[in-house]
Structure 1
Amino acid sequence: MSSINSNTPEKQGSPDIIKDPEYFISTESLDKSSPEEQVEQLAQDLGINQKKLMWKIDLWVVPPFCLLYFLSFLDRVNISNANLYGLSTELGLVGNQYNTALTVFFVPYVFFEVAANYTIKFVRPHIWLSILVLLFGVLSIGMGFVQNFGGLVACRFLIGVTEASTFPSIFYLLSTYYSKSESQRRFSAFFSCTALSGAASGAIAYKIHDLDGVHGLSSWRWIFIIEGIVTCGCAVILFFLIADFPEQARFLNANEREFLKKKLEILSGTSSAFEIKNKLKDVLKCFKDWLIWLPALSYFGLIIPSYGYAYFAATIINQMGYTAVDAQQHSVYPWLCAFGLINITAFASDRFQKRLPFAIASCVIAIAGLAMVLGATTAPRVRYAGCFLTASGLYTAMPLVVCWAALNNGSHIRKSVGTAWQIGFGNIGGIIATFIFLAKDAPVYKPGLATCIAAVCFSIMCSLGYFYACMRMNKIKQTDAYKQEFAAMEQREQINAGDRNPSFKYLY
């Protein structure tokens, strides 16, 4: 059935398709040897040592992205540490104004995700992302000098604009460097920086308390100023370190770029479609697919409790009887526990080539932790133990869900839209999170914690739905009727369809 493969000879009139016949994978060779054997032969032909190349990619690609998102998440959640040191009191915030300041971050963050991922095909990633890091670093410094509610809201809104592209773009870029069997531990290594950032936020705030009153500035202002200055300095370094797409990567030579591109095409069974100039209609077409929506809904269910925890954990710990300074210190340890579980689970998931069982197990751990924080209202130590399970479960489940979807999207346009929409739509949950933990509900936060438990259950249901959809599509794509329908498509549409190619197998 080689005629239905997306790598058939170019049809007349198909626009934006590369003309080099070697760009397409030989369907004849696919029939004669396994994908792994083809990759090995390709490595020999191009003189590539695969182990050394993988180490090279890991060193050049993952650490800069880890640093980038560490800074991004740090500048996003440090407002909770600042609030513990008197931000609301000094700015005269009343009612739900603090929650509103948290919410405005997510409005542009949700709306600019897809547009930002679309833009990154036209502006090289190392330029685009380093500029954004510089901008949200400057804005973080600005938050250290705000004098009222209006200034706080304006800075939070603009930080949401500048950070809109960081998270989805990184997942998009990572998915173009690694195969499905290589991806989860790299995705989770990057995502675990969220946990380290949460830990660092508390640890930095703990140390910064000593600066209270220096140069007439309160300690909460120094949190923003110091972290913002560090972010701006790192932005300059990241300009030289951030990896572009494999086809543009400065750290790879020509043979390495060719090998990596063809290796991923062989292992996925589809062309990457990097060379195709996508249009708005290509973006809109992606939204007609349930395989784009279900992961977004699952991630949405996890975002509600994860941001709820990130923003209010220090406050909850403070209300267990610790001073504000001690609460900052004790907020670090659950994040460190989460960092360990994230990476251990990622190695196991890649080892067994399974996503659903590990995602559900992580969600169950999170539910147990949330239940402990909710139910043990008179047992501070039990509530604190619940924080460990909550952070570990939630922040382990999220990279599993995102990586699962990102690697199941076959072409550049589907990776771009899929990752952006999953994270953009999912972050609507952040808006909900900021309004379910209200000051009037302290110290139990019963409505917020109950909502969080329900949200994780919703995520489990959506993950099960995605599992069923992937399994069903794997079967449908092997039917003669589907293959004939796919073969009748224009080649440009076949390549853009990516994972809809009959030779692509969904992972679950």
Structure 2
Amino acid sequence: MDKSSEVGIGGEVTEKRDEFVLPELQEYHDLRAKFDENRVKSLLRRVDIRLMPPLAILYLVAFIDRSNIGNARLQGLEKDLNLSPQQYAWCLTIFFFPYALFEVPSNIMLKLLRPSIWLTIIVFGWGIVMTVMGLCQNYSALLACRFFLGVFEAGLFPGCTFITTAWYKRFEVQYRVALFYSAASLSGAFSGLLAFAIGNMAGVRGYSGWRWLFILEGIATCVVASICYFFIPDSPGSAKWLSPEEARFLELRLQFDGHDKGYKEGGFEWKYLIQGFTDAKVYIGTIIFGAICICTYALSYSLPTMINLLGYSAANAQLLTIPVYAFGCIICVLNSVLSDRYKHRAAFIIAPMGMTMIGLIIGMAVDPTKLPGVIYFALFLVAGGIFSGIPTTVAWTSNNLAGQWKRAVGMALQFTLGNLVGGTVGSNIFLVKEKPKYMTAYSVLFSVTACAFLSGWALLFCIRRWNAQKASLVEQAEREGRDLDAECKDLGDKNPYFKYTL
């Protein structure tokens, strides 16, 4: 047989046959000859510098704004608004219903509009809501603000992730997702530091410290929104800081990477929605993602209070959250670097889940009133594990969905279900009546982490089986002399030459 192309496990175009050569494939081969390894690395560094800081800043701001209610609680929010424990819990929970429901529509809007336009709109929207939260006088007003905060924040994480997959190849994605997602762990550190500093403004113009916390962080978010339009590149083709040759090379290297295997699609069609909603990989990944979200939100909303109950003052508890989140950030990035380097996902989900379970076992076994330092150490293990798991899960799903519309829908669906379950459960399991032991919370977190651990193994088993089935189809077609390229060119990730990432 003559030679041409196929996509291997690593997502690179390799030689196979000449019978079915897309015109773009020859163009890609010609461009690839001009871009040696050093030039590609230099080009990707430029993309990193232009793309990653804006996304990281947006996600940092988003996570601070959604979780600063935990800091506000220590500054008298419940007392000033006369909130019962149940009402406070509802203010946490209400955020996640619109946050989940609007993720798929938001990703569709991201595709219909430009990412720079859509992200600017939603960031400015939640900045206004956050500012208004500082003026709330009762439970109903706070509840309404938290609802609309969820509406506007819904599109950010799936949007940032989708933008990343539009610029980087399969095994370049996770490290970049980790770079902006690590802002979530850094947000905990920044939030604690900001809460400590802004808390000193209590009494200024007659406002409590928690009011200034919401107002100043909301204004800062609006400022970020006003400039983010100019710093978020929509795609290689629209980036003015790339030459036409560089932009075309980036587009083609994605087209013939394992992401899409030369698969091209036009505008939105309902079949893409159906494909995203009926893929088993999405739902197994959602189990993992949802379990990690439960842990993430439980930790984010309750960490200041947990440390406060270890015997530290409210102010010192804010500061002591910083090392925990910083450790989570470091482990998150390190785990992602290794996952991309070894081109493997499963082990880098399973291992962090094991780390989290060890921390939770310590939390269940140790009395916090007698050994507070041991509990504080356990929180490091939990943070390191859960913050490492999200980028790997996102990258694994992204790697194994081909076609931008299917990937946008599938990933948004995973975020929708995962955040809905994660937020509603995670924000309600630390029961006031059980402090400081919180046995229900630790038991639930251990159970869902174990579920994520086992689901990682299950998905690994399924993918190995599916890849073996694809290899068998290729071998059979070669024996029969059939041209699978021509038969399967529009199948996306169902293409036999598309090898799923383990």
Q: Identify whether the pair has TM-score above 0.5, normalized to the shorter chain.
A: yes
Q: Return the alpha-carbon distance in structure 1 between the equivalents of residues 375 and 77 of structure 2.
A: 26
Residues 1:43 and 1:95: Cα distance change in structure 2 (over 3 Å): same
Deviation of residue 373 (structure 1)? 2.4
Deviations 1:30-88 (A, max 9, x none): 999xxx99967523358993222111111111111111101111101000000111111
Counterpart check, 1:498 vs 2:481: no
1:78-118 deviation per Cα after TM superposition (whole angstroms, max 9, x unaligned): 00000111111110111411110111100011111111111
Match of 1:104 among 94, 97, 101: 94
The structural deviation recorded for 1:193 is: 0.6
**Which letter maps to 1:356?**
A
Per the alignment, in what secondary structure is the counterpart of residue 67 of structure 1?
helix
Residues 259, 399 of structure 2: 8 Å contact kept: no
Tell me the SS of whatever aligns to 1:268. Answer: coil
How many equivalent pairs are there? 486
For 1:306, the equivalent position in structure 2 comes to 296
Counterparts of residues 131-150 of structure 1 (less than 5 Å): 131-150=121-140
Q: 1:197 aligns with which of 180, 187, 198?
A: 187
Rounded to whole Å, the distance in 2 between the matches of 1:159 and 1:451 is: 27
The equivalences for 1:27-38 within 5 A come to 28=17
Matched AA of 1:431: T
Change in 2 beyond 3 A, CA 1:487/1:278: farther
Query: Aligned-pair distance for 1:27?
Result: 6.5
Between the aligned partners of 1:311 and 1:147, the Cα distance in structure 2 is 22
Alpha-carbon distance in 1 for matches of 2:211, 2:193? 16
Correspondence for 2:434 among 428, 431, 441: 441
* Correspondences of 1:39-188 after superposition (within 5 Å): 41-45=30-34, 49-188=39-178
- The one-letter code matched in structure 2 to 1:504 is F
Distance change >3 Å, CA 95–CA 365, structure 1 → 2: same
Q: Does 1:405 align with 2:397?
A: yes
Q: Is the 8 A contact 1:366 1:393 kept in 2?
A: yes
Q: Write out per-residue CA displacement over residues 160-201 of structure 1, whole angstroms, 9 at most, x where no aligned residue.
A: 000111001111111121112222211111111111111100
Q: 1:310 to 1:365 in 2, by over 3 A?
A: same
Distance 1:39 1:254 in 2: 14
Deviation, 1:159, is 0.6
Separation (CA, whole Å) in 2 of partners of 1:4 and 1:469:
30
With 240-249 and 399-408 compared, the bigger mean Cα shift is at 240-249
| Equivalent in the alignment of 2:10 | none
Q: Is the 8 A contact 1:476 1:482 kept in 2?
A: no
Relative to the length of structure 1, the TM-score reads 0.89
Native 8 Å contact 1:137 1:231 kept in 2: yes
Describe the SS at the equivalent of 2:229: helix
Say which of 378, 381, 384 aligns to 1:386: 378
Q: Which amino acid aligns with 1:99?
A: A
Aligned partners of 1:61 and 1:243 also within 8 Å = yes
Unaligned 5+ segments in structure 2 are 8-12
The answer to which of 306-315 and 353-362 deviates more is 353-362
User: Partner of 1:421 in structure 2?
Assistant: 413
- The residue identity in structure 2 corresponding to 1:223 is L
**Conserved? CA contact 1:404–1:507, under 8 Å:** yes
Offset, 1:356: 1.2
Q: Which runs of 5+ in 1 are unaligned?
A: 8-23
CA RMSD of the aligned region, Å?
2.9
Structure 1 counterpart of 2:306: 316
Counterpart residue number, 1:289: 279
* Contact 1:3–1:487 (8 Å) recurs in 2: no
2:457 aligned partner: 464
Instruction: Note if contact 2:4-2:16 (Cα within 8 Å) is conserved in structure 1.
Output: no
How far apart in 2 are the matches of 1:489 and 1:181? 24
- Write out per-residue CA displacement over residues 386-415 of structure 1, whole angstroms, 9 at most, x where no aligned residue: 111111111011111111111221210221
* In structure 2, C-alpha distance between the alignment counterparts of 1:30 and 1:169, rounded to whole Å: 38
Residue 455 in structure 1 maps to residue 410 in structure 2? no
The alpha carbon displacement at 1:6 in A equals 10
Contact 2:6 2:15 in 1 (8 A): no
User: Given the superposition, is the C-alpha separation of residues 142 and 227 from structure 1 closer, same or farther in structure 2, using an over 3 Å criterion?
Assistant: same
1:503 aligns to what SS in structure 2? coil
Identity of aligned residues (%): 32
Amino acid at match of 1:423: F
Report the alpha carbon displacement of residue 253 of structure 1 after superposing the two structures with TM.
3.0
Amino acid at match of 2:357: I
Residues 236-279 of structure 1 deviation map (CA, whole Å, 9 limit, x = unaligned): 12110112133444433322221112112223273565651122
Detail structure 1 runs of 4+ shifted over 4 Å in the superposition: 1-7, 24-27, 29-32, 36-41, 45-48, 271-275, 481-484, 486-491
Distance 1:376 1:215 in 2: 45
